[in-house]
């Protein structure tokens, strides 16, 4: 089957998963009624006769924005992971290993603790700060790697990324110790959650999602060529250092903004790209969109589990992805060995 057809099937399955996510909860609403509510709200067509207004409010105000935010953030993390794995030619690399997630977490924590907001951009201060701190982390990791190893080997970059992740983790722990009254809220936020996040969060994420996605799609051909090695890429005219740096920036836009709005949700950026390559092969023209579909779908499913398995309480989404991702990581690592 052609990769384009596999992606089309993936889109249909993802749409069904989104509808299930918006239907299931403490109050069950049928998928048919959920579809009628969504169509009426989008196209202003009166279809909700016989449906209680309470159900309309539950789907449109509470569940659908949460599900869409989970899908966009899961897809963004997955695309960021696909890029990092491609650039570093390492299937167990991810934005988290490079320190992007840690840097974005530190930036977001500072904003939440201080309440600082840039007047002209308001709520966008949070994802913008997450992106900038994530980008600063990548810049430091790349700079230190280039000073120690002029060839900037992938192993050197990954090593510095892991070391700097530990360093930022220590800074964050110190920060939490200084703001003990906010300790519980911040620790819970770090575990990842989409609770009480409505349309405003979707609007905050969208610009970063669009810019990061378009930037990555611009370089799918170069990523294909880079898989054959840097010398081969240079011989056909690819400016490898320039392309790598830009891909790092675009993946950081996606991952940094996602982490600042949802907390640290690991392993999605590892699992989804790996599965995407198994399904559509190594052509990044298909790997990137399939990673988005799989990452978004996985995040919606894990969020659904997190908010229903111990209802009316909720588990952190990061805990569910870790339960799935840790064995998957071990499987990929030992299979590679």
CATH code (residue 33): 1.10.3470.10
- Greatest Cα pair distance, the chain, in angstroms, is 68
The mean pLDDT of the chain is 88
Q: How far is CA 71 from the centre of its chain?
A: 9
**Which residues fall within 8 angstroms of residue 224, CB to CB, at 6 or more apart?**
282, 283, 284, 285
335 has pLDDT over 90: no
CA–CA gap between residue 216 and residue 116 (Å, rounded): 31
Token pair 């990092």: residue:
84
Whether pLDDT at 151 is above 70: no
Kindly report the number of other CB atoms within 10 A of residue 35's CB atom.
Answer: 16
Alpha-carbon torsion, ordered 307, 309, 315, 318, to 10 deg: -90
Instruction: Classify the phi-psi angles of 229: left when phi > 0, otherwise alpha if psi is within -120 to 50, otherwise beta.
Output: left
**Can you read off the two tokens belonging to residue 308?**
């229903």
**What is the rounded distance in angstroms from the CA atom of residue 15 to the CA atom of residue 29?**
16
Query: What is the pLDDT, as a whole number, of residue 156?
Result: 80
pLDDT at 81: 93
Domain count, the chain: 1
Sequence-distant (≥ 6) Cβ neighbours of residue 337 within 8 angstroms:
none
The residue length of the chain stands at 337
Tens of pLDDT along 7-48?
999 999 999 999 999 999 888 899 999 998 998 888 877 766
What band does 337 get if pLDDT is binned at 50, 70 and 90? low
Question: CA distances (Å), 109 to each of 32, 37, 101, 262, 322, in order?
Answer: 40, 37, 12, 12, 22
Q: Is the pLDDT of residue 214 over 90?
A: yes
**Separation CA 165–CA 160 (nearest Å):** 8
3-class DSSP assignment, residue 51: coil
What is the residue range of 83's domain? 3-334
**Percent of the chain residues past pLDDT 90, beyond the cut:** 45
- Reported as a single tens digit per residue, the pLDDT across 66-101 is 999 999 999 999 999 999 988 888 777 788 878 888
């Amino acid at each position: 089957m052609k990769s384009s057809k596999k992606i089309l099937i993936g889109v249909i399955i993802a749409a069904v998963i989104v509808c299930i996510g918006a239907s299931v909860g403490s109050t069950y609403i049928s998928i048919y009624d959920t579809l009628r509510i969504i169509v009426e709200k989008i196209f202003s067509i009166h279809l909700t006769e016989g449906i209680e207004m309470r159900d309309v409010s539950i789907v449109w105000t509470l569940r659908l924005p949460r599900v869409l935010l989970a899908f966009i953030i899961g897809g963004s993390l997955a695309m960021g992971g696909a890029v990092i794995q491609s650039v570093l030619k390492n299937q167990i690399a991810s934005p988290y290993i490079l320190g992007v997630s840690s840097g974005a977490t530190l930036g977001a924590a500072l904003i939440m603790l201080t309440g600082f907001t840039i007047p002209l951009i308001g709520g966008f201060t949070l994802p913008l700060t997450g992106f900038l701190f994530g980008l600063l982390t990548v810049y430091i990791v790349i700079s230190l790697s280039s000073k120690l190893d002029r060839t900037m080997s992938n192993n050197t970059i990954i090593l510095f990324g892991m070391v700097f992740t530990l360093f930022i983790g220590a800074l964050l722990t110190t920060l939490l110790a200084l703001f003990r009254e906010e300790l519980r809220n911040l620790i819970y936020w770090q575990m990842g959650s989409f609770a009480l996040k409505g349309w405003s969060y979707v609007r905050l994420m969208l610009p970063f999602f669009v810019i990061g996605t378009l930037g990555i799609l611009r370089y799918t051909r170069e990523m294909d060529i880079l898989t054959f090695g840097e010398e081969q890429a240079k011989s056909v005219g690819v400016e490898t250092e320039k392309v790598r740096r830009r891909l790092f920036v675009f993946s950081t836009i996606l991952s940094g903004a996602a982490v600042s709005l949802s907390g640290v949700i690991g392993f999605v950026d590892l699992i989804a790209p790996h599965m995407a390559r198994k399904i559509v092969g190594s052509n990044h023209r298909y790997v990137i969109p399939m990673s988005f579909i799989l990452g978004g779908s996985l995040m919606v499913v894990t969020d659904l589990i997190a908010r229903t398995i111990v209802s009316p309480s909720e588990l952190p989404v990061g805990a569910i992805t870790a339960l799935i991702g840790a064995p998957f990581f071990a499987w990929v690592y030992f299979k590679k060995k």
